[in-house]
Amino acid sequence: MNARFPQVRPRRLRRTEAMRRMVAGTRPHPADLILPVFVKEGIVEPQPVASMPGVVQHTRESLRKAAHEAAEAGVGGIMLFGIPAHKDARGSAADDPDGIVQVALRDIAGEVGDSLVVMTDTCLDEYTDHGHCGLLTDTGEVDNDATLERYAAAAVAQAAAGAQMVAPSGMMDGQVAAIRAALDANGFADIPIMAYSAKYASAFYGPFRDAAECAPQFGDRAAYQQDPAGPVGEALREVRLDLAEGADAVMVKPALAYLDVLRQVRDLVDVPVAAYQVSGEYAMVEAAAANGWIDRERIIMESLVAIRRAGADLILTYWATEVARRLS
Ligand code: PBG
pLDDT-derived band of residue 109, with 50, 70 and 90 as boundaries?
confident
pLDDT of residue 258: 98
Average pLDDT over residues 66-93: 97
- Domain-located, residue 35: yes
Is 253 among the catalytic positions? yes
- Domain-located, residue 20: no
> Which residue of 37, 208, 318 sits with most ligand 1 atoms within 8 Å of its CB, as the best mutation to test the pocket?
208
CB 56, CB 49: distance < 8 Å? yes
pLDDT of residue 121: 98
CB 185, CB 130: distance < 8 Å? no
Does residue 10 have a cis bond before it (omega within 30 degrees)? no
pLDDT of residue 111: 86
- Domain-located, residue 304: yes
- Domain-located, residue 83: yes
> Lowest mean pLDDT: which of 29-38, 83-92, 105-114?
105-114
Give the residue whose CA is nearest to atom 2 of ligand 1: 169
What is the pairing mode between strands 56-58 and 33-40? parallel
CB 5, CB 11: distance < 8 Å? no
pLDDT, one tens digit per residue, over 45-56 is 999 999 999 999
What span, in angstroms and rounded, lies between the C-alpha atoms of 322 and 204?
Answer: 22
- Domain-located, residue 12: no
What span, in angstroms and rounded, lies between the C-alpha atoms of 37 and 60?
Answer: 11
Domain of residue 315: give its range.
27-327
pLDDT above 90: residue 1: no
Say which CATH number the domain at 242 has: 3.20.20.70
- Domain-located, residue 8: no
The number of distinct structural domains making up the chain is 1
pLDDT, one tens digit per residue, over 7-27 is 999 999 999 999 999 999 999
What span, in angstroms and rounded, lies between the C-alpha atoms of 282 and 54?
Answer: 10
pLDDT of residue 4: 86
pLDDT-derived band of residue 280, with 50, 70 and 90 as boundaries?
very high
For the purposes of burial, counting CB atoms within 10 Å of the CB of 218, is it exposed (0-12), middle (13-18) or buried (19 or more)?
A: exposed
- Domain-located, residue 7: no
Is 65 among the catalytic positions? no
Give the residue whose CA is nearest to atom 11 of ligand 1: 205
Residue 278 CA: which ligand 1 atom is closest? 15
- Domain-located, residue 6: no
| Positive or negative torsion for Cα 175, 164, 194, 122 | negative
Residue 81 CA: which ligand 1 atom is closest? 16
pLDDT-derived band of residue 2, with 50, 70 and 90 as boundaries?
low
pLDDT of residue 110: 82
In this prediction, the answer to ipTM > 0.95 reads yes
